[in-house]
Structure 1
Amino acid sequence: MDKKTNFIKAMTYDYPTEIPVGIHFLPAALKKYPDEILSIVQKYPDLFGDIDDYMYDPNKLAPTYRLGQTVDEWGCVWTNIEEGMEAYVTEHPIKSPQDILDLKIPENRDGRLPHGFMYLRILDLMGFENAMMEFAKESREIQILIDKVVEYNCYQIEVALKEADEIMFFGDDLGMQYGIAIGPERWRKYFKPAYKKMYDLVRKAGKYVYMHTDGMIYEIMPDLVEAGVNMINPQFRANGLDNLVRVCKGKIPIDLDLDRQMFPFATPKEIEEHVKECVEALYLPEGGLALKVEIGVDVPVENIEAVVAAVDKYRFYKG
């Protein structure tokens, strides 16, 4: 069975042959450990596939991973101070409520929906504090801004659907380390309808919706499913294993983001125990579980080897 078919079976509780595994190296990690990572990739061909995807090439970096500044289609200025790491927004185009009313949606229709395409887009446009003030006031303008971003995203989704595979991938970090900044109720008021409008386009086209979202979001995971998400990629550390078991097991398919916050500091044995604990707690033979590994620049080589070996071992877990 090919990887995509197995992944869809896990996503739909259709008895996958193994637990799907995805491993991602941040470009800065590829730059720091080119030979070591290449050796690991070659050792586990079933996990990684084409080795060219794991060779650092500065010419292939996304604009926000390159040194310097770049301006996105909305007019947000992104500043990068270390090649291979993600930039952050240092200039926000919206300074006042009137700027929201004057804002024009971008004209490009290239089908691109970057990470942070909805909720984080509001923060990028306004800045965190200004956005939180507008949500606290429940102002007319914040709803207008959300509607403008949704309108643009719907245009982009319609373009992307023309060449989309069976699964469309979306990413937007809805939580902080210890909760949702605007609270679950305001999130349901402002953002649940927004995501539903966008994801309805995908579902009506017969595609699956996969959504990555960092932060503590277990309270709204059922809402994301109601909005059209087929599989959620939540963080272990921010949500807690007990919450994920209670909310998701047998009910919400997840691609579990293993504890990247422990990878730099744990021993190889602790990493294997972590993977084992997660699989034992969340596994069902019918599916609903995949495993995601993200390797940052601060993870030592022995721990990279440990987590890769652990997911390779436990992807065949059968209870």
Structure 2
Amino acid sequence: MTNRDLLLRTARFDKPERIPVRVSLSPTCWSHYPRERLFELLEAHSLLFPWFDRERWRGPRIPPWRRAGLPYLDSWGCEWVTPEDGITGAVTRHPLADWAALETFRPPNPELHDGWGRTDWAAREAGLRRAADAGALVQGSLRHGHSFLTLTYLCGYENALYAMADDDPRLHQVLDVIGRFNAYAVDRYVDSGVEWMGYPEDLGMQVGPMLSPEQFRTFIKPIYERLMAPARDAGCVVHMHSDGDIRDLLDDLLDCGVDVLNVQDLVNGVELLEQRVKGRVCIDVDIDRQRITQFGTPREIDLHIRNVVSRLGGRDGGLMLTHGIYPGAPLENLRAVLDALERYATYWS
């Protein structure tokens, strides 16, 4: 079964041969762990890293907004600063921190920009055609933080929530601009024949969402519904990602038309996800990187991943596993995570 078939059959509850597993290695890891140990780790887990070849590897690619000490101005005019290479930092200058600036604000042209910077749609579409010709999954995605977070980047988090509380008409104006910018990208991807459309945006904090359920329903949910509708109508799998505690938003997110929900395990609760989400949509579980994998033992890590798989999976599919590797975890714990992900990928086979 190809990776494309594996993902599509899992998302559609169509009896995949195993659980799809995706592991991302943060570029920061290469400056925190011995390179040889990372090489050995990747080579020992070929199911997770089939692409890795140390002889051809040329180091991590770090986009300009993740480069330490170099402030970066994105397409919207937001200034980003990060203290460490490879980590997306924070916006330190909001172009609409003063609402009066809205009178002269000029949003980016979606034909030329993707939110981070200039883009070449012809080149992107050529890449999609190559993927299709190779039998790979044809995927598109909005940039991370496409709607609500872009609002906070533009005017600041507190200003955004105050504007929601006041139902400020200028807020609606900005949300409309953001929505139209993103709609162009969605339409362009759909017209190019994507099979899988991503909508990544963090809505949760450590405890609770970043905005109230009522604020989400009033201001953000309508945007999500409009952005997801073209992809759904075209038969695409709609993939939604959010870090953080989004328990209070789950039902509304699923109402938007999500097929695959990428959600963190411990902060939301494995048992809660089993009770409220399992079977309704495919769950793409983001395996803990705060507690057990950082401070637990290899056995505790194995038991945790087994628990996630046994509770949230099934023979029909509907479960994917995702894990992000960042500095801080002992190397023996990283190995335990990767061992368990490979071991339990066939749990339901």
TM-score (norm 2): 0.86
Asked if 2 retains the 8 angstrom alpha-carbon contact of 1:111 and 1:158, the reply is: no
- Partner residue of 2:234? 205
- Partner residue of 1:16? 16
RMSD: 1.9
Is 2:146 aligned against 1:117? Answer: yes
- Partner residue of 2:126? none
Q: Distance in 2 between matches of 1:174 and 1:86?
A: 16
Note closer, same or farther for the CA distance 1:208–1:119 as it changes in structure 2 (3 Å cut): same
Asked if 1 retains the 8 angstrom alpha-carbon contact of 2:259 and 2:282, the reply is: yes
Matching residue's letter, 2:287: L
Note closer, same or farther for the CA distance 1:165–1:212 as it changes in structure 2 (3 Å cut): same
Secondary structure of the equivalent of 2:207?
coil
Note closer, same or farther for the CA distance 1:185–1:205 as it changes in structure 2 (3 Å cut): same
Q: Any stretches of 5+ residues in structure 1 without a counterpart?
A: none
- Partner residue of 1:307? 337
Q: Distance in 1 between matches of 2:193 and 2:100?
A: 37
Identity within the alignment, %: 31
Note closer, same or farther for the CA distance 1:127–1:55 as it changes in structure 2 (3 Å cut): farther
TM-score (norm 1): 0.93
Matching residue within 307, 312, 315 for 1:277: 307
Asked if 2 retains the 8 angstrom alpha-carbon contact of 1:15 and 1:287, the reply is: yes
- Partner residue of 2:321? 291
Q: CA deviation at 1:57?
A: 2.6
Q: CA deviation at 1:175?
A: 1.4
Is 2:256 aligned against 1:227? Answer: yes
Alignment of 1:173-192 (within 5 A): 173-192=202-221
- Partner residue of 1:66? 67
Equivalenced residue count is 318
Secondary structure of the equivalent of 2:92?
strand
Secondary structure of the equivalent of 1:78?
strand
Q: CA deviation at 1:139?
A: 1.5
Matching residue's letter, 1:284: G
Secondary structure of the equivalent of 1:48?
coil
CA displacement, residues 152-197 of structure 1 (integer Å, 9 cap, x when unaligned): 1111222333445411222100111111232111101111110111
Matching residue's letter, 2:44: K
Note closer, same or farther for the CA distance 1:170–1:312 as it changes in structure 2 (3 Å cut): same
Asked if 2 retains the 8 angstrom alpha-carbon contact of 1:38 and 1:55, the reply is: no
Q: Distance in 2 between matches of 1:187 and 1:5?
A: 34
Note closer, same or farther for the CA distance 1:164–1:61 as it changes in structure 2 (3 Å cut): farther
Q: Any stretches of 5+ residues in structure 2 without a counterpart?
A: 115-141
Matching residue's letter, 1:63: P
Matching residue's letter, 1:36: R
More helix by share: 1
